[in-house]
Structures are given as structure tokens and as C-alpha cells.
Amino acid sequence: MRTFGSLLVRGLIVGLLAGLLAGTFAFVTGEPRIDSAIAIEEANASAHSHDAGSGHHEHAAEEEPLVSRDGQRFGLFLAASLYGVALGGIFAVGFTLLRRRLRTSSDSYAALGLAAAGYVGIVLVPFFKYPPNPPAVGDPDTITQRTVTYLLTLVIGLLAVWAGVAASRWVQRFGDLPWIRLAGGGAALVLTVVVAYLILPKINEVPGTFPATLLWQFRLASLGTQTVLWTLLGIGYAAAIDRRTPVAASSKVVAA
């Protein structure tokens, strides 16, 4: 058995490493898209101010940004690492509290299952309703509404996963076949998500002039970044708590 402290430290370290690597993935696949999007945004802004004829009323600040583009490229690694640490901490708590409810005797499968559940609920469910946008896409006036609805999809995603698990256990009464459990769980999850998608407001703020290919590439880069993060979190945590690994085997065994 491990102490909570040991489970937590492993989560934080794995989260940090997963975040760093996800940041590297984002840097390679995402930064070129963000640069292109910012170029479009700046072109739009200058065109707009010429049209208005009123000069640089609100664009003056943009000429001397608080953080340079290079600074923001470095900041990407900082953001991804800190986000990874936060996720790693929450993941360790989730693992500690839910481990005994996950019906597997393998800690590795439990960690992987938890990561898969988190990925579906926290990444995929929000992604398909409110796909992430690059700069130049999105109305700044709706940022509060978009933030709230994004957080809502995140909570709904986790609820949908919970509904799926509960349903798959419930249908088990009628026949303990893998496909019945999978179908029952999948149906409950999809039903929850579809109902939520229908109720949540539609947001479509992509300007008609924004290149569709660039938008698609940015969204793929964003999805890839989060996929890398969650995959490494799950596999990394499974490895970190596995007592068969040499490092873990040397750690003290607590007498129950």
C-alpha cells in the first residue's frame, strides 16, 4: 500500500512531465498555426482602424505588447507544465478516492481507465460542442459566456462518463456479457451528451474570411496536445505506481 503523499507526489511529477511533453507537441504543431492566426488578426485590426478612420484608439496597446511573441512561446511550456501539474494532482486524488470502486484488481488498469474517463469527459465532450479557436476567431464580448459554457461542458462530460459507468453496471444484471455492458454504458453516455449539446447555446463566431484549413489544423493541434497530455498522464501514472518497477519496489512497504 502507498500513502496519500506518495500517490500525490507521483501524480504531480507525472503531470509535470506529461505537461512538458504536451507543451512540446503544442509548440511544434500549434505555434505555426497561432502565428498565422495572429497575422490574420493584425491584418484585420489595421484594416478596421483604417476603415473607421479614427486611428489607433484601442490598438495602441497592441504595438507594445506586455509579453513578446517569443515570451508567449516560452509561456506555452509554462502553461502546459502548470496545467499538467494541476491535472496530475487532481488525478492522484481521483485515483485515491475511486480506486476501490473501479472493478479491477490491477492498479495499472485502474489508472488507465481513470485517464480514459477524464479524457472523454474533460477533453472530448467539450471539444465537439465548443471546439477550441485560434486568435482572430471569437467575439471578445462573449468571452464570459463562452467561458461559462465551456466549464459547463466539462462538468457535463464528467457526468456523462459517470452515467455511462453506472448504466453499464446496471445492465450487467440482465446479462454479464461485455457487449451488453459496452452498449448500455455507451448509450447512456451518448444520450447524456446529445441532450446536453441540444440544450447548450450554439456559438459560431468563425469569420467567413478565416481560412478553413488553418482553423482545422489549429483544432487538430489543440486536440493532439490534450491527447498527448492525457495519454502520458494515464500511462505515466500507471507506471509510477506499479510496484513491479525497480524504483517502486525499493520504496518502503507499509505494514497494514
Partner 1 sequence: MTAPVSTSSVAVPALSPRLLAFALLTVGLALMLAYLVAFDQGALSRSGMYLHELMHDGRHLLGVPCH
Least Å distance, CB 135 to Zn ion, is 5
| Per-position x/- string for 195-234, each x denoting binding to partner 1 as judged by CB under 8 A, each - no binding | -----------------------x--xxx-xx--------
Residue 207 interacting entry, from partner 1, Zn ion, none, C-beta within 5 to 8 Å by type? none
Least Å distance, CB 94 to Zn ion, is 30
How far apart CA 129 and CA 141 sit, in angstroms, is: 20
Cell (9 digits) for 128: 465537439
Cell (9 digits) for 12: 504531480
Least Å distance, CB 69 to partner 1, is 9
How far apart CA 148 and CA 156 sit, in angstroms, is: 12
Position among 32, 44, 150, 217 found at the interface with partner 1 (CB under 8 A): 150
Q: Is residue 110 within 8 Å of 104, Cβ to Cβ?
A: yes
The residue among 131 and 135 lying less far from Zn ion, judged by its C-beta, is 135
Cell (9 digits) for 54: 479614427
The residue among 135 and 224 lying less far from Zn ion, judged by its C-beta, is 135
* Interacting residues of 90 by C-beta distance below 8 A, sequence separation 6+: none
Q: Footprint of Zn ion on residues 123-142 (CB under 5 A)?
A: 135
The residue among 89 and 135 lying less far from Zn ion, judged by its C-beta, is 135
Q: How far apart are the first and last CA of the chain?
A: 8
Least Å distance, CB 174 to partner 1, is 18
How far apart CA 128 and CA 180 sit, in angstroms, is: 26
Least Å distance, CB 166 to partner 1, is 13
Which of these, 214, 186, 158, lies nearest to 38 by C-alpha position? 214
How far from chain centre, in Å, is Cα 158?
12
Q: Is residue 137 within 8 Å of 96, Cβ to Cβ?
A: no
The residue among 135 and 200 lying less far from partner 1, judged by its C-beta, is 135
How far apart CA 146 and CA 143 sit, in angstroms, is: 5
Residue 89 engages partner 1 in binding (rule: CB under 8 A): yes
The residue among 55 and 140 lying less far from Zn ion, judged by its C-beta, is 140
Q: Is residue 130 within 8 Å of 203, Cβ to Cβ?
A: yes
Least Å distance, CB 112 to partner 1, is 14
Which of these, 169, 136, 176, 131, lies nearest to 47 by C-alpha position? 136
The binding site for partner 1 (CB under 8 A) comprises: 1-4, 7-8, 23, 26, 30-31, 34, 65-67, 71-80, 82-83, 85-87, 89-90, 92-93, 95-97, 99-107, 123, 126-127, 130, 132-135, 138, 140, 143, 146-147, 150, 218, 221-223, 225-226, 241, 243
Which positions lie near Zn ion, rule CB under 5 A? 135
